[in-house]
């Protein structure tokens, strides 16, 4: 039986057709993947199913009943639970408060009891969390868990997960996959949006590929391959192999000695970190999310105070390109246009500013060139970045940070949310920066990615570099142990 059936769903933004007569059958108790390039229309479609957007045309059937989903609240009442790509949490509230927010309160709210309930729920699903912690103080990976628990708390029958593994560590991904299989076996229906083809192949029963707002194909995962899926998404063959030229590194660009950095609470989260980074070299930082990566990156970018130790740039001045972990709060001004975001670090200088006046022609020209080079898909350079798909927002950050030919690049999860084609493009672009002579710190929780990209690989655990290894000879097993605080 089809649990969800979409018939000719169409959604336009102005003259742009984001979803073009999409028809889709999602079987009851199945895990159904939706694949597509950045901007293909996946999130728009999911926003329609979760009641955030109203379609301009088409019909939705739930358990073969024609329905209208007029609001997110109604979607929840219908048993549709969505975990969005960008979190929908209230940062100032605690984990428990976020989870119970919007649910029907009993006549007297017993927060202590609710904390216990959430703790039990999180333990039952292996998603450990402190129910009393404030969400704004949690790392991205943990915030994701809150989103998942929020949906599970509401006992949704149809779960929509928009790139849920993008922020999870390999063990967390493994446990999430097991949870999702378990939920599907128990009769829940799951829609899974991901750019990770291996995950789709491992987890999902069926996959639908979207391209430019249209359904291109629907197929059983067992009768396809990652290569075929990539080609369907992009419309041409994609090389999924990384082509890395041999390293030719030079002088030391950055020397870090006994670095100590505290987090927002004053608690030391980077301790005794020392390393050197050379011209033309990629030093990877592998580690489980929340082990001090964010504080390290912020300190190197000059955004966080150094408690002890020192950071020395040997060539002064050194332009630093910083690709932060969270593009929406740290990387972009969401209400600014693409063109404005692209000059945030250079608007004071020529050719963008002359005699205190912004030079609109130069800004427009720069935006057009960057959009072409980084394949930023948008109808116009002047649209707000809030209207871009997640992947295209990330490309705006990359385009801005790499434009000034930085001597040091700090890249934190630079391919998060990018489709296979865009990921391959970012990898080759960062490798080209390395060949140009940039020193690159590549921080990622994606172990295979960081191993493939790096020349040397530092493993971070509880704020310390527990080892710096040659990436060519290090093994996944060895790094996995070090990441877990063992095998030192």
For ligand ATP, which is the closer residue by CB, 39 or 55?
A: 39
Q: Could you tell me the smallest distance in angstroms from the CB atom of residue 276 to ligand ATP? A: 36
Q: Could you tell me the smallest distance in angstroms from the CB atom of residue 91 to ligand ATP? A: 22
- What phi and psi values does residue 485 have, to the nearest 5 degrees? 85, 15
Binders in 21-80 for ligand ATP, by CB under 6 A: 36, 38-44
Q: Could you tell me the smallest distance in angstroms from the CB atom of residue 218 to ligand ATP? A: 16
Candidates 469, 427, 431; CA nearest to 449 is 427
For ligand ATP, which is the closer residue by CB, 35 or 483?
A: 35
Site size toward ligand ATP (CB under 6 A) is 20
Candidates 450, 162, 172; CA nearest to 290 is 172
Q: Could you tell me the smallest distance in angstroms from the CB atom of residue 13 to ligand ATP? A: 3
State the DSSP string of 206-234: EEEEEETTEEEEEEEGGG--HHHHHHHHH
Binders in 398-427 for ligand ATP, by CB under 6 A: 419
| Residue 205 Rama label (left phi>0; alpha psi -120 to 50; beta) | alpha
Q: Could you tell me the smallest distance in angstroms from the CB atom of residue 320 to ligand ATP? A: 26
Segment interacting with ligand ATP, rule: CB under 6 A, options 13-21, 181-189, 313-321, 399-407: 13-21
Instruction: Count Cβ atoms within 10 A of the Cβ of residue 302 and give its class: 0-12 exposed, 13-18 middle, 19 or more buried.
Output: exposed
For ligand ATP, which is the closer residue by CB, 325 or 419?
A: 419
Q: Could you tell me the smallest distance in angstroms from the CB atom of residue 396 to ligand ATP? A: 12
Binding to ligand ATP by residue 389, rule CB under 6 A? yes
- State how far the Cα of 394 lies from the Cα of 414, in Å rounded to an integer: 8
For ligand ATP, which is the closer residue by CB, 218 or 387?
A: 387
Q: Could you tell me the smallest distance in angstroms from the CB atom of residue 330 to ligand ATP? A: 18
For ligand ATP, which is the closer residue by CB, 18 or 76?
A: 18
- Which of 6, 18, 118, 142 touches ligand ATP (CB under 6 A)? 18
Letter string b/e over residues 151-173, b meaning 16 or more CB atoms within 10 A of that residue's CB: bbbbebbbbbbbbbbbbbbbebb
Candidates 117, 86, 123, 119; CA nearest to 103 is 117
| Site string (424-463) toward ligand ATP, x via CB under 6 A | ----------------------------------------
For ligand ATP, which is the closer residue by CB, 39 or 287?
A: 39
- Which of 214, 377, 429, 462 touches ligand ATP (CB under 6 A)? 377
What residue is closest to ligand ATP based on CB? 391
Letter string b/e over residues 364-388, b meaning 16 or more CB atoms within 10 A of that residue's CB: eebbeebbeebbbbbeebebbbebb
Neighbour count for residue 239 (Cβ, 10 Å)? 12
- State how far the Cα of 482 lies from the Cα of 488, in Å rounded to an integer: 6
Which H or E run includes 483? helix 476-483
Which H or E run includes 58? strand 57-62
- Strand duo 306-313 + 252-262: pairing: antiparallel
Q: Could you tell me the smallest distance in angstroms from the CB atom of residue 325 to ligand ATP? A: 17
For ligand ATP, which is the closer residue by CB, 41 or 131?
A: 41
Q: Strand order in 282-286's β-sheet? A: 320-323, 408-412, 439-444, 282-286, 456-461, 464-470
For ligand ATP, which is the closer residue by CB, 143 or 392?
A: 392
Q: Could you tell me the smallest distance in angstroms from the CB atom of residue 361 to ligand ATP? A: 25
Q: Could you tell me the smallest distance in angstroms from the CB atom of residue 285 to ligand ATP? A: 25
Taking the CA atoms of 241, 242, 243 and 247 in sequence, report the sign of the dihedral they define: negative
- Which of 126, 387, 437, 462 touches ligand ATP (CB under 6 A)? 387
- Which of 378, 410, 482, 483 touches ligand ATP (CB under 6 A)? 378
Q: Could you tell me the smallest distance in angstroms from the CB atom of residue 422 to ligand ATP? A: 8
Neighbour count for residue 355 (Cβ, 10 Å)? 5
For ligand ATP, which is the closer residue by CB, 388 or 453?
A: 388
CA–CA distance from 140 to each of 92, 154, 175, 331 (Å)?
Answer: 15, 22, 17, 15
Q: Could you tell me the smallest distance in angstroms from the CB atom of residue 392 to ligand ATP? A: 6
Tokens representing 191 are: 């829609």
State the DSSP string of 428-481: HHHHHHHHHT-EEEEEES-HHHHHHH-SEEEEEETTEEEEEEETTT--HHHHHH
Segment interacting with ligand ATP, rule: CB under 6 A, options 22-30, 67-75, 310-318, 389-397: 389-397
First and final C-alpha spacing in the chain: 53
Binding to ligand ATP by residue 268, rule CB under 6 A? no
Binding to ligand ATP by residue 392, rule CB under 6 A? yes
Binding site for ligand ATP (CB under 6 A): 13, 16, 18, 36, 38-44, 377-378, 387-392, 419
């Amino acid at each position: 039986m089809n649990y969800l059936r979409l018939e000719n769903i169409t959604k336009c933004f102005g003259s742009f057709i984001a979803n073009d007569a999409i028809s889709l059958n999602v079987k009851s108790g199945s895990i159904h993947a939706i694949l597509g390039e950045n901007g293909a229309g996946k999130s728009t479609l999911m926003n329609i199913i979760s009641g955030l957007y109203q379609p301009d045309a088409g019909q939705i059937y739930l358990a073969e009943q024609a329905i209208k989903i007029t609001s997110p609240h109604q979607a929840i009442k219908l048993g549709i639970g969505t975990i969005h790509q960008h979190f929908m949490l209230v940062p100032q509230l605690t984990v428990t408060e976020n989870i119970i927010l919007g649910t029907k309160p009993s006549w007297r709210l017993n927060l202590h009891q609710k904390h216990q309930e959430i703790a039990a729920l999180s333990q039952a699903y292996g998603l450990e969390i402190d129910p009393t912690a404030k969400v704004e103080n949690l790392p991205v990976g943990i915030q994701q868990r809150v989103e998942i628990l929020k949906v599970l708390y509401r006992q949704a029958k149809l779960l929509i997960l928009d790139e849920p593994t993008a922020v999870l560590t390999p063990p967390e991904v493994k446990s999430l996959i097991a949870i999702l299989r378990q939920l599907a076996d128990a009769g829940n229906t799951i829609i899974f949006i991901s750019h990770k083809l291996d995950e789709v192949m491992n987890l999902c029963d069926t996959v639908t590929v979207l391209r430019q707002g249209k359904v291109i194909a629907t197929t059983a995962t067992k009768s396809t391959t990652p290569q075929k899926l990539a080609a369907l998404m992009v419309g041409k063959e994609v090389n999924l192999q990384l082509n890395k030229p041999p390293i030719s590194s030079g002088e030391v660009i950055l020397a870090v000695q006994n670095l100590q950095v505290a987090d927002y609470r004053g608690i030391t989260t980077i301790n005794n970190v020392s390393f050197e980074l050379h011209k033309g070299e990629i030093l990877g930082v592998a580690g489980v999310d929340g082990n001090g990566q964010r504080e390290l990156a912020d300190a190197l970018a000059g955004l966080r105070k150094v408690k002890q130790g020192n950071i020395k740039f040997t060539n002064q001045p050194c332009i630093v390109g910083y690709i932060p972990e969270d593009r929406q709060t740290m990387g972009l001004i969401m209400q600014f246009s693409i063109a404005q975001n692209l000059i945030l670090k250079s608007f004071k200088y020529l050719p963008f500013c002359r005699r205190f006046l912004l030079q609109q022609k130069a800004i427009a020209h720069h935006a057009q060139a960057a959009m072409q080079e980084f394949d930023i898909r948008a109808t116009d350079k002047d649209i707000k970045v809030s209207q871009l798909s997640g992947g295209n927002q990330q490309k705006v950050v990359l385009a801005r940070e790499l434009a000034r030919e930085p001597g040091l690049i700090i890249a934190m999860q630079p391919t998060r949310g990018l489709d296979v084609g865009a990921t391959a493009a970012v990898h080759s672009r960062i490798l080209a920066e390395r060949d140009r002579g940039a020193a690159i710190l590549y921080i990622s929780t994606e172990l295979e990615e960081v191993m493939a990209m790096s020349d040397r690989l530092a493993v971070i655990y509880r704020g310390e570099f527990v080892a710096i290894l040659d990436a060519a000879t290090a093994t996944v097993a060895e790094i996995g142990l070090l990441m877990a605080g063992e095998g030192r």
